[in-house]
Every structure is written in structure tokens, then in C-alpha cells.
Amino acid sequence: MKTFLALLAGATLLAGCSFHQGPSVSLVNVRFQDATVLETSATFTLRLSNENPEPVTFNGGVHKIYLNGFYVGKGLCAATVVVPRLGTVTNDVTVHLSNLLLVTRIKPIIESQSFDYRITSRFYGDSMLGGSSSENTGRLDLKEFTPTPKP
């Protein structure tokens, strides 16, 4: 009987705690930035979507990015980001790419302007007990966003 009451009290306590799921992540843009002899920086613009009825604040995140099944690298975010309740924000993440990999694998994928992606993210923050993970796949077609020249 004591065990049952302890379990009931624990379940009630857990039900009363507010737990927020981290935002879902999708890729919306890729831009190449600075280049050195050995590496090039690329900025990946991520859309963070919050499906919770309360805002979600995180104080850091790690985003691993794959293009057409190939691991590109990871971007780190140390900034505090607030995703409004039932809303979205964009967040730029810099990924440092090896120039050898860039020339042989990544650049042709991005230059095709249409590719599949997968992002696995880990968010850290006060409202996310022990952190929160998110994984999303999708297709980015940059050709759709190319303006059509006027005649």
C-alpha cells in the first residue's frame, strides 16, 4: 500500500511539472561565407518551430547537418533563443567545412540547388529537463526561390 501511495504521489508530482518539448528544426537557406586555405564557413539558416502553448527558451544548441545523406558538419549555438508559443523564429548557425570535402562532395550538392537534408539537434535550457532532442528531414529546393526575370 505504501508503494502504491508513493507511486501515486510521484505521478501526481510529474503531471504537475511543466515539461516543454524542444523546437522542431527545418533548413531554410545555405550561404557560403569566409574561406581560408583549409576550410570554408557556411551559414545554415534554420527555422525553429515551437508547438508548445508556452514559449520555449534555450541557452544553447548543437545541430548536426546531413545533405543527401552525407554528414556535412555541426553548428553550435551559444546564444539564448526564445521561440514564441505556437510560433517560429530563424536562427543562423555557422558550420566549418573542410575545403577538400567542400570541393569534392558538398559544393556540387548545394550548387544543384535542390537536395535532401537531415538535421539532428540537441537543445539546452531551463525549461527542458536535461535537454531536448529533435530530428527532422526534408528537401530544400532553392530553385523555387529564384526570382523570374521580368520581360
Q: Domains for the chain: give ranges and CATH numbers.
A: 20-140 (2.60.40.1820)
pLDDT 10s digits, 73-92: 999 999 999 999 999 999 99
> Would the pLDDT of 14 be above 70?
no
Backbone angles phi, psi at 66, to 5 degrees: -125, 135
Cell numbers placing 78: 551559444
- Residue where the block lists cell 529564384: 146
Residue with cell 511543466: 18
Write out 75-130 in H/E/C secondary structure. Answer: EEECCCEEECCCCEEEEEEEEEEEHHHHHHHHHHHHHCCEEEEEEEEEEEECCEEE
CA angle 134, 118, 148 (to 5 degrees): 120
pTM: 0.75
pLDDT recorded at residue 6 = 41
Tell me the pLDDT band of 8, cut-offs 50, 70 and 90. Answer: very low
